[in-house]
Each structure stands twice: as structure tokens, then as C-alpha cells.
């Protein structure tokens, strides 16, 4: 039985991770955050971004669901992944901030997806 | 043991001027107990070592409502968990986690997911309470906490900041939050469901012209703030319209007493006295007399 904070700490096993948070996809409430999360931004900004993309996709007639959002800036990557397994209307996202110099984006996305799949268990 | 907010003018040490200030003071005191906040409708804030572990208010769904109404746990499994808890609980067990542990041990929900729902419920209930002003409070040191609580608890400062942010976020798109909370919502137009997310579809189906955002939250098993957020976003797209609450004045009704039985008041009596009156005829001198 692991708390959310303990589960989030597993994200730091991946090279280059500098911050991680579990965020409510609708309200933007950061349930728990770990590390230096200032690189990623506030929870409500993450929720607004994913809501904008998700609703925009549906409005444009796209099929399927959002799988990931990757935002790259000069120094950091930000990886945002939907967290499966909750009640359909109460959704969450996992946001991970990475130091670009010390991370492999493909590997980081894969490991973040594994964490997203297990964090609510 | 309980302590109430003192009356004005009583010579006592400076008292917190509002609920956030009170919670900050109780955090400094490492307080465990509850704060009953009076108001419309008010609520109860449960604290463990100064951290907020649960907030109860009639204006927001409890963790139990969130789990059951969303379909995350079915009624039968829930009843089984309650029975199991009653069977294993002993007065001397000293188990502080209670129903949280039972639900996860029975495999009904993951520990992380339950923790997230309990945290969300604390923030949502605090927001719902903040929609109407607090009239006062009473501090209870020996209050019993609810069955499902957030662990270890939420910082009062973070709770106050998040509540302020939520109020500001909604105020940008709807002038009066009290009006938004009481608005009866209904779909404004027909739309292809394929152009909406699952959440938007559920909210639109729930908005039947009788439900307010709070009712929608209870119906769907989600928070009041997310429901209000959904309504404002759907209204911005022209998909939902909210009917303003009716004013709370008693309807005008016709008088039940017959007019003949009513006594005229003074004004009516003086007005009646000022009216010209027909002179009373003396029938004894009536010219129509046949004599």
C-alpha cells in the first residue's frame, strides 16, 4: 500500500526528472507534487492546457482520446499523460518535468506512462 | 469540550477574524478535533494535528457519495465493506485509518485513487462552504472524524489559496457565483455527441432544466466546483443556458375572507365617511302613496 507521494518519488528513478505531480484533469488541483515543480507550472495551467487540447480535438471531430502532451523549451521537457483507471468523469493527469541535458525523452515518456498506469493502484 | 467565537466587546485575547485565520491558529497549536462553521448551510472542518482531513457540508458530495454516484464502487460492495469494518473493528484497536483501509484491503479501490478522491473532496467541500459567508464557529476538541479522511491532511494555507483561486476562476466567466450555483441548467441547442468529450456529454444529459450545478455534481458523483466549471465552459460554447433562480417572495393570493366579513381599516372608514350619502326618504310623505 503506497501513498501518492511515495508513488511519485518513483518518477525520479528515470534520468533527468526534476519534478512530478499528479493533477486533477478538470479542477487543476495538484493532489501531490514532488521535486522542483516550478519548471512545469501550476496544476490549473496543466488542466487548462489538457482541457483545451481534449475539447478542441473532439470539437474538430477527432476520434480516440488524448495519449500524451509534450512541451519542449530551451532547458526542459514537460510530459503530461492521462492517468487511467478512475471513474470516467473524475480524470487525472501525471505531469513530469525533465532536464533536457540529462534526459532521454523517448525513455522518459515510456517510464512516465508506466508510472501513470500504476500510480492510482 | 467546545469553544465558540466570543461576542463582540468581551475582553479576551485577539480572536481569529475569519475561518482561514482560525485554521492557521489551530495548525500552530497542533489541534486535533473539529470546527463547526455556522452559516447557510455551513459545515464542519475536521482537523488532525492542525491539518484538514475532511470537510462536511450539505452543499458538496461526501467521499461516499463520490464513490457511489460515480459508479466507482457499487452499493452491494459498499454495504459489504461497511459490514466487514463493523466485524473487524474493536474499541481498543486504535485504528485511525478505518474505512480507508477496509476499502483498499477488499480490493474495491486502489490506495492512490482513494487518497486522491479524499483530497479532492476536502477542497471541493471547502469551496462549497466558501460560496456563502460564515456566520460564526465553534471549536470541538473531542469531535469524531468521518469514516473516510485524507491522510495525512491538507495544509490550511494551501486550502485557503486553492479556494480563492477557484472563486476567482469562476468569477471571470460568471459575475455572481451565488447565481451560478442556483442556476437551473438546460441544453441550449442540439449537438452531435461525437463533438463532445464523455464528461461534456454526461453534464449535458444531467442538465435537464431542473438541476443546478450542485444537483449535477450530486447526480454524477463529481465535485461542485468541477460541475460549475463544466457549466461555464459549456455556456461559453453556447451549449448550456442557465435559468436564474426565482426570487424568494411569497406568491400573491386572493383574500380568503369574504368582503362582507372584513372590517374596514381606519383609512377606509374615514374615506367612506367623506363620500356623499343618499338622503333617507320619509316613506310617510311619499307622493306615490295611493291614498
- Residue B92 confidence (pLDDT): 52
- Residue B80 confidence (pLDDT): 93
Answer yes or no: do B195 and A59 touch at CB < 8 A. yes
In chain A, what is the greatest distance between 2 CA atoms, to the nearest angstrom? 42
Q: What is the ipTM of this complex?
A: 0.91
Mutate to test the interface with B, among A11, A27, A94 (most CBs of B within 10 A): A27
Answer whether B222 touches A (CB < 8 Å): yes
Which residues of chain B make contact with A32, given a CB cutoff of 8 A? 119
Please count the other Cβ atoms lying within 10 Å of the Cβ belonging to residue B133.
10
Give the pTM: 0.83
Handedness of CA B55, B57, B60, B63 (dihedral sign): positive
- Residue B149 confidence (pLDDT): 92
Which residues of chain B make contact with A51, given a CB cutoff of 8 A? 233
Where in chain B does DSSP place strands (E)?
2-4, 33-39, 43-48, 51-56, 134-140, 184-187, 240-243
Nearest to B222 among A22, A90, A120 (CB): A90
Confidence bin at B5 (pLDDT 50/70/90): low
Residues A89 and A110 sit within 8 Å (Cβ to Cβ):
no
Tens-digit pLDDT profile for residues A55-108: 888 888 888 788 999 999 999 999 999 998 667 777 899 999 999 999 999 999
Q: Which residues make Cβ contacts (< 8 Å) with residue B121, sequence separation at least 6?
A: B54, B55, B60, B61, B62, B63, B66, B148, B150, B223
Nearest-angstrom CA–CA distance, A39 and A103: 15
Residues A1 and B111 sit within 8 Å (Cβ to Cβ):
yes
Residue A110 has pLDDT above 90, yes or no: yes
Answer whether A1 touches B (CB < 8 Å): yes
Q: Average per-residue pLDDT in chain B?
A: 83
Nearest-angstrom CA–CA distance, A33 and A71: 19
In chain B, which residue's Cα lies nearest the Cα of A8?
A: B112
Tens-digit pLDDT profile for residues B184-231: 999 988 888 888 888 899 999 999 999 999 999 999 999 999 999 999
- Residue B285 confidence (pLDDT): 45
Residues B235 and B270 sit within 8 Å (Cβ to Cβ):
no
Tens-digit pLDDT profile for residues A3-62: 888 899 989 998 999 999 999 999 999 999 998 878 778 999 999 999 999 988 888 888
DSSP chain A: ---HHHHHHGGGGSTTEEEEEEEETTT--EEEEEE--TTT--HHHHHHHHHHHHHHHHHTT--S----EEEE-SSEEEEEEEEPSS-TTS-EEEEEEEEGGG--HHHHHHHHHHHHHHTT-
- Residue B248 confidence (pLDDT): 62
Nearest-angstrom CA–CA distance, A40 and B241: 35
Nearest-angstrom CA–CA distance, B229 and A55: 14
Answer yes or no: do A27 and B104 touch at CB < 8 A. no
Residues B130 and B119 sit within 8 Å (Cβ to Cβ):
no
Residue B251 φ/ψ, nearest 5 degrees = -65, 145
Tens-digit pLDDT profile for residues B23-55: 999 999 999 999 999 988 889 999 999 999 999
- Residue B282 confidence (pLDDT): 53
Q: Which residue has the cell 486533477?
A: A24
Confidence bin at B265 (pLDDT 50/70/90): low
Mean pLDDT of B122-145: 91
Amino acid at each position: 500500500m503506497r501513498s501518492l507521494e511515495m508513488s511519485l518519488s518513483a518518477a525520479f528513478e528515470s534520468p533527468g526528472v526534476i519534478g512530478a505531480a499528479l493533477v486533477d484533469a478538470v479542477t487543476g488541483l495538484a493532489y501531490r507534487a514532488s521535486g522542483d515543480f516550478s519548471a512545469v507550472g501550476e496544476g490549473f495551467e496543466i488542466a487548462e492546457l489538457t482541457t483545451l487540447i481534449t475539447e478542441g480535438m473532439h470539437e474538430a471531430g477527432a476520434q480516440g482520446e488524448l495519449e500524451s502532451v509534450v512541451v519542449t523549451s530551451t532547458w526542459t521537457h514537460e510530459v503530461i499523460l492521462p492517468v487511467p483507471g478512475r471513474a470516467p468523469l473524475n480524470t487525472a493527469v501525471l505531469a513530469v518535468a525533465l532536464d533536457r541535458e540529462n534526459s532521454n525523452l523517448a525513455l522518459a515518456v515510456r517510464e512516465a506512462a508506466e508510472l501513470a498506469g500504476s500510480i492510482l493502484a | 469540550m467546545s469553544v465558540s467565537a466570543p461576542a463582540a466587546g468581551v475582553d479576551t485575547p485577539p480572536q481569529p477574524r475569519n475561518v482561514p485565520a482560525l485554521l492557521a491558529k489551530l495548525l500552530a497549536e497542533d489541534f486535533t478535533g473539529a470546527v463547526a462553521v455556522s452559516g447557510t448551510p455551513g459545515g464542519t472542518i475536521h482537523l488532525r494535528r492542525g491539518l484538514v482531513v475532511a470537510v462536511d457540508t450539505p452543499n458538496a458530495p461526501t467521499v461516499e457519495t463520490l464513490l457511489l454516484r460515480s459508479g466507482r464502487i457499487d452499493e452491494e460492495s459498499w454495504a459489504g465493506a461497511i459490514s466487514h469494518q463493523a466485524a473487524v473493528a474493536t474499541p481498543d484497536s486504535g485504528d485511525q485509518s478505518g474505512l480507508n483501509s477496509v476499502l483498499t484491503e477488499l480490493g474495491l479501490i486502489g490506495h492512490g485513487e482513494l487518497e486522491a478522491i479524499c483530497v479532492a473532496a476536502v477542497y471541493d467541500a471547502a469551496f462549497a462552504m466558501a460560496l456563502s459567508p460564515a456566520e460564526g464557529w465553534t471549536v470541538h476538541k473531542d469531535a469524531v472524524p468521518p469514516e473516510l479522511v485524507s491522510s495525512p491532511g491538507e495544509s490550511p494555507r494551501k486550502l485557503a489559496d486553492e479556494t480563492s483561486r477557484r472563486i476567482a476562476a469562476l468569477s471571470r466567466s460568471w459575475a455572481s457565483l451565488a447565481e451560478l450555483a442556483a442556476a437551473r441548467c438546460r441544453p441550449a441547442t442540439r449537438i452531435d455527441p461525437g463533438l463532445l468529450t464523455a464528461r461534456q456529454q454526461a453534464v449535458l444529459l444531467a442538465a435537464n432544466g431542473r438541476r443546478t450545478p450542485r444537483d449535477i455534481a450530486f447526480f454524477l458523483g463529481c465535485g461542485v466546483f468541477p460541475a460549475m466549471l463544466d457549466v461555464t465552459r459549456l455556456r461559453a460554447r453556447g451549449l448550456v443556458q442557465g435559468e436564474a433562480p426565482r426570487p424568494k417572495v411569497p406568491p400573491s393570493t386572493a383574500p380568503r375572507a369574504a368582503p362582507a366579513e372584513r372590517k374596514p381599516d381606519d383609512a377606509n372608514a374615514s374615506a367612506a365617511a367623506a363620500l356623499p350619502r343618499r338622503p333617507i326618504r320619509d316613506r310617510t310623505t311619499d307622493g306615490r302613496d295611493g291614498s
